[in-house]
């Protein structure tokens, strides 16, 4: 039986990418990662993928006339690699509803807050500045809305008195690196199904 082929989409340092690659190497995640899609030619994640001997394809939105052409280029690469699952790991582009509909329940994302609270690109800062006592991490299926979609897994993170924003970010990222591989492994074992807006075991 062929293993699942995962494409990771990333734009930055690639810390979650590294955590996922490590989980594949140890056998925790029973899948292949044949492809990294990156929209930023300067992203540190590229060097990490090269060291891991994973194919890197840089597709920068600025090189295309519009988002439709940008996404068509991505789809062409995904088809060529036989990709089964798309894992967003710090990919700083919002995928269009048309793109998401091509891969129903086959795109997942990690968000550094307990959705539906604190959506958007600055979730850690927003939760910290709002003054909540508990924030966290969410792994979810991607749907046509931003930071939406059925939740796969969540883990809370308490914000301690006197904690700095920098320290909170470090703690949340550490939790991400543990939770994301676990959620992917659970998904690939066939333990999860999407019914309407809910994930069921």
| Widest Cα–Cα separation across the chain | 52
Rounded-to-integer distance, Cα 9 and Cα 21, Å? 13
Rounded-to-integer distance, Cα 55 and Cα 45, Å? 12
Catalytic annotation, residues: 111
Rounded-to-integer distance, Cα 157 and Cα 87, Å? 23
- Beta strands, E only, 159-201: 193-195, 198-200
Q: Closest Cα to residue 201, out of 152, 149, 160, 165?
A: 152
């Amino acid at each position: 039986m062929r293993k699942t082929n995962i494409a990771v989409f990333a734009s930055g340092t690639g810390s979650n990418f590294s955590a996922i690659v490590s989980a594949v190497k140890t056998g925790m995640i029973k899948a292949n990662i044949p492809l990294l899609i990156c929209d930023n030619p300067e992203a540190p994640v590229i060097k990490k993928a090269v060291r891991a001997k994973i194919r890197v394809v840089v597709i920068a939105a600025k090189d295309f006339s519009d988002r439709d052409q940008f996404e068509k280029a991505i789809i062409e690469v995904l088809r060529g690699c036989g990709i089964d699952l798309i894992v967003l790991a710090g990919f700083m582009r919002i995928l269009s509803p048309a793109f998401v509909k091509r891969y129903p329940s086959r795109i997942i994302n990690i968000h550094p807050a307990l959705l539906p609270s604190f959506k958007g690109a600055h979730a850690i800062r927003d939760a910290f500045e709002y003054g909540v006592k508990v924030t966290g991490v969410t792994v979810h299926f991607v749907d046509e809305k931003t930071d939406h979609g059925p939740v796969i897994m969540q883990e809370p993170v308490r914000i301690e008195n006197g904690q700095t924003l920098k320290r909170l970010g470090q703690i949340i990222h550490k939790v991400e690196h543990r939770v994301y591989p676990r959620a992917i492994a659970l998904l690939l074992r066939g333990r999860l199904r999407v019914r309407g807006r809910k994930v069921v075991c």
